[in-house]
């Protein structure tokens, strides 16, 4: 995954940034809701569900980043943990919110970049690591990140023709404005390449690694079993809605690819706050999601 994401980010970064959200965006948001809400059991806790749900709805309607994070801190205070620990985690989120607010527009850009790495932290805490092999992809990921931030990455991307392949409306200028506004173009383009890479990793974690971590058997599930598991978790209505949204974005992209890309991001901007909420609750409650679909304390889940 790290290798293919790196190659794609050097060979066709602008097309990946344009097509990735259209193809994988809705399925990965569905995975967000499935694993962080339904299978964790948080939707069955009224106060968490109400405050968290209202926060996510507000963000989906275009609420400011800082307000969403402040509400996320309030959700952390509802965790089943000691008061001191809850206050500390909530305070960290609040300080992070005001730090981003102090950055102005850069704050939204910074949050967008950092958000791509949140499922990596969730993957880390999803199960106890009993060996060392998981360090190999992590080291590769760090190495790829450092490489993309180096001047060599731009030279390689230029040599491979990656910086010359783009849609007219979503080329270098548009992506620099979106992901690295008012930053020196040399550094800005490295950040664009890094975002392309980390976005690909983000989708891969949600659609492959985290589901693999969650399943209760070693062998991969058949497509039919996968769909049935999704139906059990989301219900018939949820499954139909997820399918219609995925098909709808795809059809929209056939008519207006750039518009579909922008529309997806407007629709899905709430899910970054969902991931922050889940990390806070998982850490505070010392909890993982068990294969049975219920939140469980680590000591019980690892037995």
What confidence score (pLDDT) does residue 58 get? 92
Q: Give residue-wise pLDDT tens across range 228-260.
A: 888 888 889 999 999 999 999 999 999 998 899
Count of CA atoms in the C-beta half-sphere (13 A) of 226: 10
| Burial readout 224-258 (b: 16 or more C-beta within 10 A, e: otherwise) | eeeeebbeebbeeebbeebeebbeebeebbeeebe
Structural domains counted in the chain: 1
What confidence score (pLDDT) does residue 240 get? 93
Residue 38 domain boundaries: 2-301
Give the residue from 199, 268, 216 showing the smallest Cα distance to 39. 216
Q: Are 75 and 281 in contact (CB under 8 A)?
A: yes
Q: Is the pTM of this model over 0.85?
A: yes
Task: Look up residue 1 and give its DSSP letter.
Answer: -
Q: Give residue-wise pLDDT tens across range 76-85.
A: 999 999 999 9
Give the residue from 50, 32, 70 showing the smallest Cα distance to 278. 32
CA 171 vs CA 37, 100, 136, 168, 275: distances in Å: 36, 27, 34, 6, 29
Task: Look up residue 180 and give its DSSP letter.
Answer: S
């Amino acid at each position: 995954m790290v290798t293919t994401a790196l190659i794609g980010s050097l060979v066709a970064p602008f097309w990946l940034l344009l097509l990735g959200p259209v193809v994988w965006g809705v399925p990965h948001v569905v995975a967000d809701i499935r694993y962080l809400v339904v299978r964790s059991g948080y939707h069955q806790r009224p106060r968490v569900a109400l405050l968290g749900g209202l926060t996510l709805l507000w963000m989906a309607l275009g609420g400011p980043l800082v307000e969403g994070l402040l509400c996320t801190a309030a959700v952390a205070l509802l965790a089943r943990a000691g008061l001191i620990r809850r206050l500390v985690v909530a305070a960290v989120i609040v300080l992070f919110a005001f730090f981003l607010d102090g950055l102005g527009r850069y704050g939204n850009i910074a949050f967008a970049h950092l958000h791509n790495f949140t499922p990596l932290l969730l993957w880390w805490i999803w199960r106890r690591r009993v060996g060392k092999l998981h360090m190999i992809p992590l080291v590769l990921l760090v190495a790829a990140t450092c490489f993309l931030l180096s001047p060599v990455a731009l030279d390689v991307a230029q040599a491979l023709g990656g910086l010359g392949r783009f849609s007219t409306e979503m080329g270098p200028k548009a992506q620099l404005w979106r992901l690295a506004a008012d930053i020196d173009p040399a550094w800005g383009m490295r950040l664009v390449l890094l975002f392309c890479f980390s976005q690909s990793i983000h989708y891969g974690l949600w659609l492959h690694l985290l589901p693999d971590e969650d399943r209760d058997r070693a062998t991969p599930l058949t497509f039919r079993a996968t769909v049935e598991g999704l139906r059990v978790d989301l219900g018939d209505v949820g499954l139909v809605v997820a399918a219609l949204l995925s098909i709808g974005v795809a059809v929209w992209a056939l008519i207006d690819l750039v518009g579909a890309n922008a529309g997806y991001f407007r629709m899905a901007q709430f899910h970054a706050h969902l991931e922050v909420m889940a990390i806070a609750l998982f850490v505070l409650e010392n909890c993982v999601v068990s294969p049975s679909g219920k939140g469980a304390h680590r000591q019980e889940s690892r037995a």
